[in-house]
Amino acid sequence: MSTEFKYTEEVTGEIVQIPVNLLHHHHDNPRKDLGDLTELTDSIKAKGVLQNLTVVPYWFKLTGVGCDDPKQQAEMGYLVVIGNRRLEAAKAAGLETLPCIIAKMTPAEQVQTMLLENMQRNDLTVYEQALGFQMMMDFGDTIDTVAEKTGFSKTTIRRRLKMAELDAETLKSVSDRQMSLFDFDRLAKIEDLAKRNEVLATIGTSNFNNAVEYAIKKQNISKNLPTIREKIKALHANKINYSETYGGNYDHVGNRISIDEWDGSEFQLPTDKKLFYYLDESSGRLDFYTKREKAAPVKRSEEEIEKERVAREAAEKLKEAAAIHFKLRQDFVKTVSVTQKNKPILLKWAAKVMMYQIVHWLQNGRAESLAEAFELDLDEFRKDYNERDNILLQKFEQNDSLIPRILLVFLGDNETQNYFQAYDYELKNGNLPKHKENDALDLIYGLLCDLGYEMSDEEKAIKDGTSELYRADDGQDDEDDEDDELYDGEYGDDEEDDSEEDDSPAEASSEDELVDALKGMYGAEE
Report pLDDT for 356. 57
Q: What's 178's DSSP letter?
A: -
Which of 28, 27, 31, 29 lies closest to 122, judged by CA?
A: 31
Nearest to 275 by CA among 319, 235, 314: 235
CATH 3.90.1530.10 residue ranges of the chain are 1-124
Cα 129 from chain centroid (whole Å): 23
Q: Tell me: the pLDDT tens digits for 94-136? A: 888 889 988 888 887 888 788 777 766 656 677 777 877 888 8
Q: Write the pLDDT tens digit of every residue in 319-331.
A: 999 999 998 998 8
CA–CA distance, 196 with 216 (Å, rounded to integer): 10
Q: How confident is the model at residue 482 (pLDDT cuts 50, 70, 90)?
A: very low
Antiparallel, parallel or unpaired: β 285-291 and 434-435? unpaired
Above 60 in pLDDT, residue 501? no
Backbone dihedral region for residue 143 (phi beyond 0: left; psi -120 to 50: alpha; all else: beta)? alpha
Digit-coded pLDDT (tens) for 81-95:
888 888 888 988 888
pLDDT higher for 175 or 14? 14
- Overall average pLDDT of the 363-390 stretch: 71
Q: 3-state class of 66 per DSSP? A: coil
CA distance linking residue 444 with residue 303, whole number of Å: 40
What is the Cα–Cα distance from 391 to 389, expressed in whole angstroms? Answer: 6
pLDDT confidence of residue 507: 41
Please provide residue 431's backbone torsions phi and psi, each rounded to the nearest 5 degrees: -85, 125
**How much is the pTM?**
0.55
Question: What's the rounded mean pLDDT across residues 435-459?
Answer: 93
Interior angle at CA 283, CA 281 and CA 287, nearest 5: 70
Domain 1-124 belongs to what topology? 3.90.1530
> Which pLDDT score is estimated for 343?
86
> Would strands 15-19 and 97-102 be described as parallel, antiparallel, or unpaired?
antiparallel
According to the per-residue pLDDT averaged within each range, which of 154-163, 221-230, 399-408, 494-503 is highest?
221-230
What rounded mean pLDDT belongs to the chain?
79
Predicted local confidence at residue 2, as pLDDT: 46
Q: In what order do the strands lie in the sheet with 285-291?
A: 238-239, 275-280, 285-291, 250-258
d(CA 308, CA 33) in angstroms, rounded, equals: 57
Which pLDDT belongs to residue 73? 60
Confidence of residue 223 (pLDDT cuts 50, 70, 90): very high
Task: Select the more confidently predicted residue: 290 or 66.
Answer: 290
CA distances from 468 to 239, 432, 433, 471 (A): 30, 10, 10, 7
